[in-house]
């Protein structure tokens, strides 16, 4: 139980103010389907942290960290473009299937967590305590604890804001994060090279 709680607290604290909270808010507001978004966060966390716990640092060595960062940054810019392309007239949100909200959330979160501090922390905890199940369960619940409030805030207040404005705000958040990630990658690459 101690390992589970340590993983939970470590990941929850690491996620406070992280980009994934902003993405949770934006996805929930965009899709207006909080349960599939939350399920996507849970599934992506289990998959990502499961890989981290099982493979440990080997996963981080599989792809160069700077490549992962570039992929994530470009993914956010593509998500911004996709969000804007989906604009509809009127105040009603576009019809989005539960599967679409789940799959989009799963893919974004899985990619965003590659090489992230929570993945590294999960790998380190699993290696240190030599247990996968308790560490992955704790780190996944930590992700839920950090992101669920953002999901419910996005869902609750999205109904009070016109859909077109929400789509533009979501696209802006995705574009901002994408540019921020790419600039950070560029600066790190310039400093190293």
Mean of per-residue pLDDT scores for the chain: 77
Q: Return the higher-pLDDT residue of 126 and 110.
A: 110
In tens, the pLDDT along 140-173 reads 999 999 889 888 887 777 667 666 776 677 677 7
pLDDT at 36: 92
Average pLDDT over residues 59-79: 64
Q: Sorting pLDDT into bands at 50, 70 and 90, what band is 92? A: very low
Q: How confident is the model at residue 57 (pLDDT cuts 50, 70, 90)?
A: very low
pLDDT for 151 equals: 86
- Which of 43, 1, 12, 24 lies closest to 122, judged by CA? 12
Mean pLDDT of 124-132: 75
Confidence of residue 176 (pLDDT cuts 50, 70, 90): confident
Residue 90 binned pLDDT confidence (cut-offs 50, 70, 90)? very low
Most confidently modeled range among 12-16, 58-62, 100-104: 100-104
Is 17's pLDDT higher than 60? Answer: yes
CA dist., res. 67 & res. 107, Å (int): 17
> Could you tell me the sign of the dihedral formed by the alpha carbons of 4, 147, 104, 117, in that order?
negative
The domains of the chain are located at 2-192
Q: How far is CA 29 from CA 25, 34, 88, 119, 146, in A?
A: 6, 8, 15, 26, 17
Query: What is the per-residue burial (b if ≥16 Cβ within 10 Å, else e) of 116-128?
Result: bebbbbbbbbbee
Whether 63 has a pLDDT exceeding 70, the answer reads: no
SS3 81: helix
pTM of the predicted model, to two decimals?
0.64
Q: Is the pLDDT of residue 52 over 80?
A: yes
């Amino acid at each position: 139980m101690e390992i589970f709680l340590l993983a939970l607290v470590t990941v929850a604290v690491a996620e406070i103010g992280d980009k994934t909270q902003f993405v949770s808010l934006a996805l929930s507001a965009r899709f207006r389907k909080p349960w599939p978004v939350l399920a996507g966060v849970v599934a992506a966390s289990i998959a990502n942290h499961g890989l981290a716990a099982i493979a440990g640092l080997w996963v981080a060595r599989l792809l160069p960290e700077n490549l992962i960062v570039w992929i994530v940054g470009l993914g956010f810019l593509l998500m911004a473009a996709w969000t804007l392309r989906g604009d509809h007239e009127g105040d009603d949100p576009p019809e989005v299937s539960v599967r679409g909200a789940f799959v989009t959330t799963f893919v974004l979160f899985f990619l965003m967590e590659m090489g992230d501090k929570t993945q590294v922390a999960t790998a380190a905890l699993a290696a240190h305590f030599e247990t996968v199940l308790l560490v992955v369960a704790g780190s996944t619940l930590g992700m839920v604890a950090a992101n669920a409030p953002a999901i419910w805030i996005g869902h609750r207040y999205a109904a009070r804001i016109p859909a077109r404005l929400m789509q533009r705000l979501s696209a802006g958040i995705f574009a901002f994060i994408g540019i921020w990630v790419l600039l950070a990658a560029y600066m790190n690459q310039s400093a190293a090279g």
